[in-house]
Amino acid sequence: MLEPVHALADPRYDAVDLHCHSLHSDGALPIATLLERAEHAQLHFFSVTDHDTLQGQAEALAMAEHCNLNYITGVEWSAVWGSYLVHVVGLDFDPEAPASVAAVEQQARSRRRRAQRIASKLEREGYTGVKEWLSTQTNVESIGRPHIAAFLVASGQAKSSAHLFKSVLGAGKVGDVKTEWPDLRDVVSWIRDAGGQAVLAHPHRYKMTRTKRGQMVADFAAYGGQAIEIGVPGVLPEMRQHLVALAQEHALMGSSGSDFHHDEQRWLSLGKVPPLPKDITPVWTRFRTA
Instruction: Show contacts with Mn ion in window 248-287 (CB under 5 A).
Output: 259
Choose the one of Mn ion, ligand AMP, none that binds residue 161, judging by a C-beta under 5 to 8 angstroms depending on kind. Answer: ligand AMP
Binding residues for ligand AMP, total number by CB under 6 A? 9
Residue 150 has φ and ψ, to the nearest 5°, of -60, -40
Residue partners of 231: CB distance under 8 A and separation at least 6? 14, 16, 254, 255, 256, 257, 273, 274, 275, 276
Cα distance between residue 112 and residue 137, in whole Å: 10
Strands (E), 68-179: 70-71, 74-81, 84-91
Q: Which amino acid is at 275?
A: P
Which of 85, 245 has the CB closer to ligand AMP?
85
Instruction: Compute the least distance from the CB of residue 23 to Mn ion, in Å.
Output: 12
Binding mask 12-31 for ligand AMP (x = CB under 6 A): --------------x-----
Contact between 14 and Mn ion by CB under 5 A: the answer reads no
Residue 110 interacts with ligand AMP (CB under 6 A): yes or no: no
Query: Which does residue 165 bind out of Mn ion, ligand AMP, none, counting CB within 5 to 8 angstroms by kind?
Result: ligand AMP
Name which position in 56, 146, 182, 282 contacts ligand AMP (CB under 6 A): 146
What is the distance between the alpha carbons of residues 197 and 224, in angstroms, rounded to a whole number?
Answer: 9
The dihedral through the CA atoms of 208, 211, 78, 236 has a sign that is positive
Q: Can residue 231 be called a binding residue for ligand AMP (CB under 6 A)? A: no
Regarding 76 and contact with ligand AMP (CB under 6 A), the answer is no
CA 74 to chain centre: 8
**Nearest-CA neighbor of 57 among 100, 6, 9?**
100
Q: Does 87 help bind Mn ion (rule: CB under 5 A)?
A: yes
Stretch in the footprint of Mn ion (CB under 5 A) among 67-75, 102-110, 183-191, 195-203: 195-203
145 lies in the binding site for ligand AMP (CB under 6 A): yes
Residues between 187 and 226 that touch ligand AMP (CB under 6 A) = none
Both ends of the chain: CA-CA distance in Å? 9
DSSP-assigned letter for residue 259:
-
Q: Which of residues 258-287 bind ligand AMP (CB under 6 A)?
A: none
Residues that bind ligand AMP (CB under 6 A): 26, 51, 144-146, 161-162, 165, 170
Residues that bind Mn ion (CB under 5 A): 26, 76, 87, 201, 259
